[in-house]
Each structure stands twice: as structure tokens, then as C-alpha cells.
Amino acid sequence: MKNHTDLSEIFKRLSIATVNPAWSTGKVSGMADGGIIESNSPVDGRRIASVGQTTPEAFDSVVDRAATAFSAWRDIPSPRRGEIVRQFGDELRKHKHDLGTLVSYEMGKSLQEGLGEVQEMIDICDFATGLSRQLYGVTMQSERPGHRMYEQWHPVGVVGIISAFNFPVAVWSWNAAIAWVCGNVCVWKPSEKTPVTAAVCQQLIGAVLARNGAPEGVSCLVQGDRTLGERLAGDRRIALVSATGSTRMGRSVAAAVASRLGKSILELGGNNAIIVTEHADLNIALPAAVFGAVGTAGQRCTTTRRLIIHEEVYDTFKTKLMRAYEQLRVGNPLDEKNHVGPLIDREAVANYEAALAACKDQGGHFIVAGGVLQGDGYESGCYVRPCIAEVSPDMAILQTETFAPILYMMKYTTIDEAIRIHNEVPQGLSSAIMTLDLREAERFLSVAGSDCGIANVNIGTSGAEIGGAFGGEKETGGGRESGSDAWRAYMRRQTSTINYSDALPLAQGIKFDL
């Protein structure tokens, strides 16, 4: 993507009629004119497109339309809903390169990661298609003769999805594909920092739904800032809110949804660590640590932020890390020779600089220096240097999540000490241990080990597969998305008892002489 013409060609292939003027929001998002959101690429600072914001009145109309659509969508057999989701997966396959390129350009992640994000969308569509025939309940034995008990699952209704900029399309699809096959309809509020990829996805799924005669409103998109997210969280018509973002945002959403006794799925901050033991294969630990720390420029919720390294291998691993970081190339993420792209915007750069200063003030020592990159190719002002700091485990900076490529490393002596250091942060998303020692691995996975929702052995903290439930504990929010039995969060459980006898036995032997 060297010039604006290339971007225009991508939009053309994606069947988007215009790039620069405000979008025809009636077709793409179902929005009235509430002003515009300008999307500017962190890659080169250029404007991608202008997207219409949703007014409060338009938001109400969208949710009403979704609620109406639910009454029809829920009656469509689940395998048929799964077939529609399968077709959406095929549409994504058709447009994978263009959509992945757009993800990379609007968000700033490498092209390989942008394409990988679209592949995650395809994978979850495949998973949801199979799931559509496996929404199982269970049969239970009744204590009363001539009775049968069983449980079944019904859709909850309108599902609100609030997604973050770092995975601008994949996390939406994790929620939406599962919610759709379960019989729900979705209202999506994407990050205002990545509105264009959201609008494109809405257009793609909208075309698939229309071809299949689905009711209008099964998939809805609203665009705006945090005030729109607050409106969504507080709306009683929305049965479930799935929110991905910062812990601060999650607290606000949780309080609003809980106040109306709604349901929520929260995927919030991560402060992930890898323990490297004296029994680790350092040739596996090294790429896991480097990719985990610098992938997506450190802007993943599963980014590796802390390395807890045994004192016997500390110096050796430190040398390997420094050599690896010397080879990192920072630049335009659409150039496959580069490893690290820009941060999302200059506000993120300011947060990065503040974290560097705080680390130094607290006694951290940078063995690979950080800083903001300037000059040719860095005109957007969003490119920073990945860095490594040696720290002590008690430093305050380690308690916070900085969405930037800053890696903190520290020593430990015993495995119990390493696990204690690992767990002494308020977040609990992803974790990993590098060891060839069975006892260490099992200790890490035991009830006394990692307190995170994801715990890996000899694999890094990032790169979760859609087949397993994704989510974390503590300030990460406790939610689960994607695979395993996470689908149950999008449904309501109903226990049913059928009496096929010619009598009505009452509980606890109570009798009425009637």
C-alpha cells in the first residue's frame, strides 16, 4: 500500500463505493447523521475514510430493529443459522488478503498478523458451523416415578459487543459467530480508533444475511466513542454485553450491566509473564518471549510483559534476548521484512514514554533502550523502539498494563518463588512456563500454580487457538469467549420436568385430599 490509489482498489474489491466522503451510513451501519469519525492510519498518518457516528436516536432505532429480528431469527433451526455463518466464512476467505491488509493499515499490526486475524474469523465461523448441531442439554434422573427431567438452552436475545482496537475484527467474530448460531442477534460497537474495518465487516455479513433472506437486524453496527458504549451497557433491551478492553472500561460496563441485572462477558487487561526455568529449552523460550513481547507492537492483551528467569540461566538468556532485539526491524507493517509496526496513535506513544520514565524512576535498568523513532518512514509519530528493562519484582510499574513493547525481566531462585512473583499482579489472563522438567510443569498447572485463565507449557503467552475457551481471572474480568463450552454464556439455561404418569406426586410427600 504505497499510495491512496492502492487503498481505493482494496475498497473497490471489497465492494465499498467510496473512500473519502462520510460513508453512506444507512446501508453500512443503520445510522443517522451524528457527525463523523475520521480514521487515520498509524502507518503513515493518512486518512483512510470518514465514518458516520450513531446518534442516540439512531441507536434506539438500531436496538429496536435487532429486538424485532430476534423474534424471527430464534425460530430458524440452529443448523440453518450455522449454514449462514459458514457462508460468511467463505466470504471472508474470498476477501482475506484485502481485509487483512486493511486491518494492518488501520490498526498498525504487521501484514502477517492482519491476515492471521482474518484467518481467526474464518476459523471461528468453521467452529460455529459445527457447534450449530451440538447445542446439547442433558437428561437427569427424576426422584418421582413417571417423570423425566432435562435441561435445554435458549438464546438470550440481543447481544451487545464492545470490541477494542488491537483486534478490530477477530474478537467481534468470536462473539458474533457463536451468538448467531445460538439464536441471538448482535449490536456491535467497535473501537472508534478502527471504524473502517468494522464497517467493511458489517457490509460483508450484511450481504450474506440478505442473500439468505434473514431478518434485517441480525447483525447491527453502531459507531461512536465511549459514551455510545455506556449507552449500550445501560440498555435494558440488550440481554448480554460482551466487552473487550481495559480494566477501567470493564469496571464501568460491569457496574452498568449489573445494575439492571443483565449478563456480561468481560475480557479485560493482561499482564502476562513467562517463567524460564533452569530446565528450559532456551531455543524454544527465546522466540516465544520475543514474539510475545513485540507482536502487534506489544498491543495484545496476551502480550508478554514480564520474564521471570531462573538465576542459573539468567545471564545466558539475557544475552540471547539482546541479540534478538538487535535484529528487530521497526517500520511499515505492510512490508513483510519488518517485524514491528506502529502503536495505534500518539496517545499510546505518550503512555509508552510515561512507562519508560516510571520504570527508570523506580530503579529499572534498560539493557535495550526504548524511545520514539523519527525520520523517514516514521512520519506518523507512532513508531517506538521495543525495549527491555531489568527490574526487581516489587516495582510498582509491574502492577500495570502498558500497551506497548516494553519487556520487564527479573530473577528468581525457586519455582515457588517464581510462581509467587508471577501471581503478584492484579491481572490474570495468560501465562507460560518454559521447562523440560515434568514436576515444574505440573506445579505450574496445579491449583497452587498459575492463577490465570490460560496457562501454557513450552509455548508463549500469545497465540490462543479458537478451539479453547479464551479469557482470564481477577481484573481480566472472568469472561470466556470462543471455543470449548463458552457458547453457554450466550444462552439461558432452562430445566424442564415432564410428568407422563397418571398421578401428581408432590414434593416432600405433601398430600392434598381433593
Q: Which residues have a catalytic role annotated?
A: 267, 301
Helix (H) and strand (E) counts for the chain? 15, 23
Q: Give the torsion through C-alpha atoms of 192, 196, 197, 201, to 10 deg.
A: 110
First to last CA, the chain: 82
Residue 170: DSSP 8-state: H
Query: How many CB atoms lie under 10 A from the CB of residue 230?
Result: 17
Contact between residue 364 and residue 391 where contact means Cβ atoms under 8 Å apart:
yes
Give the contacts of 167 (CB within 8 A, at least 6 positions apart). Answer: 117, 244, 300
CA 321 to chain centre: 28
Which residue bears the cell 493499515?
105
Which residue bears the cell 499510495?
3
Count, residues in the chain: 514
Closest by CA position to 359, among listed 307, 418, 298, 406:
406
Which residue bears the cell 523519527?
374
* Distance from C-alpha of 435 to C-alpha of 210, rounded to nearest angstrom: 52
- Phi, psi dihedral angles at 50 (to 5 degrees): -110, 130
Residue 22: DSSP 8-state: B
* Distance from C-alpha of 143 to C-alpha of 120, rounded to nearest angstrom: 46
Ramachandran class of 505: left when φ > 0, alpha when ψ lies in -120 to 50, beta otherwise: beta
327: cell is 535484529
